[in-house]
A = this chain, B = another copy of it.
Amino acid sequence: MAELCYNHKVPIIPFGTGTGLEGGVTAVQGGVCFNMTRMDKILNLNTDDFYVTVEPGVTRKSLNSYLRDSGLWFPVDPGADASLCGMAATSASGTNAVRYGTMRDNVINLEVVLSDGRILNTAGKDRNFRKTSAGYNLTSLFVGSEGTLGIITKTSLRLYGVPEAMMSAVCAFPSVQAAVDSTVQILQCGIPIARIEFLDDVMVDACNKYNGLSYHTLPTLFLEFHGTESGVREQVQQTEEITQLNGGSDFTWARDQEERSKLWTARHNAWYAALALRPGCRGYATDVCVPISKLPEIVMKTKKDLLESELTGPIAGHVGDGNFHCIMVLNVDDKDEVSRVKAFTDRLARRALALNGTCTGEHGIGLGKRSLLVEEIGEVGIATMKQIKATLDPQNIMNPGKVI
Contact = CB atoms under 8 A, between A and B. Distances in A.
Interface of A: 46, 48-51, 90-93, 97, 102, 104-105, 114, 118-138, 140-141, 143-145, 149, 160-161, 163-164, 184, 188-190, 228, 230-231, 234, 289-293, 321-323, 356-365, 369, 373, 376-378, 380-385, 387-392, 403-404
A308 to B, nearest CB: 26
A293 B364 contact: no
Given A127-B358, A190-B163, A378-B124, A137 B388 contact: no
Counted per complex, copies of this chain come to: 2
A125 B378 contact: yes
B127 A357 contact: yes
A206 to B, nearest CB: 25
A196 to B, nearest CB: 12
A129 B356 contact: yes
Which of A130, A137, A403 has the most chain B CB within a 10 Å cutoff? A130
A349 to B, nearest CB: 11
Nearest to A132: B358
Given A133-B90, A392-B384, A49 B293 contact: yes
Given A128-B291, A141-B141, A390-B391, A133 B380 contact: no
Contact of A129 (B129, B291, B387): B291
Contact of A231 (B118, B120, B234, B363): B234
Nearest to A191: B228
Contacts of A234: 228, 230-231
A129 B378 contact: no
Contacts of A143: 137
Contacts of A149: 136
A289 B144 contact: no
Contact of A144 (B114, B137, B188): B137
B137 A292 contact: no
A77 to B, nearest CB: 14
A390 B290 CA distance: 35
A174 to B, nearest CB: 23
Contacts of A141: 136-137, 140-141, 388
Given A121-B381, A138-B384, 13 more contacts: A46-B293, A48-B188, A118-B380, A128-B356, A132-B360, A134-B360, A134-B365, A134-B369, A135-B381, A138-B377, A388-B391, A388-B392, A391-B391
B391 A387 contact: yes
B388 A136 contact: yes
A43 to B, nearest CB: 14
Contacts of A134: 358-360, 364-365, 369, 373, 376-377
A105 B228 CA distance: 25
A358 B124 CA distance: 9
A136 B92 CA distance: 13
A381 B135 CA distance: 10
A130 B364 contact: no
Contact of A133 (B91, B138, B188): B91
Contacts of A133: 90-93, 102, 144, 360-365
A111 to B, nearest CB: 10
Given A228-B234, A234-B230, A289-B131, A104 B137 contact: yes
Nearest to A366: B133
Contacts of A105: 105
Contacts of A137: 91, 104, 140-141, 143-144
A122 B381 contact: yes
